[in-house]
Structure formats: C-alpha cells, structure tokens
Structure 1
C-alpha cells in the first residue's frame, strides 16, 4: 500500500506498508477508510520516491 496522511505528510510524501496476499484487502480497506490510500502496487513497482 502506498499511502500518506495528509494531516502529517507533505503532498509529495509517499509511505509504504507491505502486506501479504492474505492481509492485503484488510489493510487496503483500513487505509482507504481513513482517506490515506494513494495506490496499491506490487513490490517490484515501488520507486525510489516510495522510500
């Protein structure tokens, strides 16, 4: 999950939480419900901007 808390992080900040397939949907829902979700990508799709 690539996410950002807009109350804490600047517009360009991207944070990453990794999740296995069994927990990905639960974590995505948790982050999305709070309005933090930017996108869901595979590990091989992360960039240097993602830390």
Structure 2
C-alpha cells in the first residue's frame, strides 16, 4: 500500500462542474481513491493532470 501524502489544493471549495456541483476537493478525493489502480498505468507516460 502506498504511503499517505498530503496534497494542498488551492480553493478546494471551488465548484469545477456547475451541473453536478463537483468541487476541486471532490476531484482530489477521487484521484486519491483510484491512485493505486491509476498510477501503474501512468508510469513512464508523459502526462499532466491539470
């Protein structure tokens, strides 16, 4: 299991999808939940998550 890492998100309450009310914090929590599956697939690939 990967070690927990604290990530600072600027304006975590900012809504990024008005139709669903999804916030930047929600997106960060999603990435944290899928990271163990996602990161091996991204290894050695040029990618930027913005």
Question: What is the TM-score with the length of structure 2 in the denominator?
Answer: 0.35
Question: What is the TM-score with the length of structure 1 in the denominator?
Answer: 0.35
| Bigger Cα Rg | 2
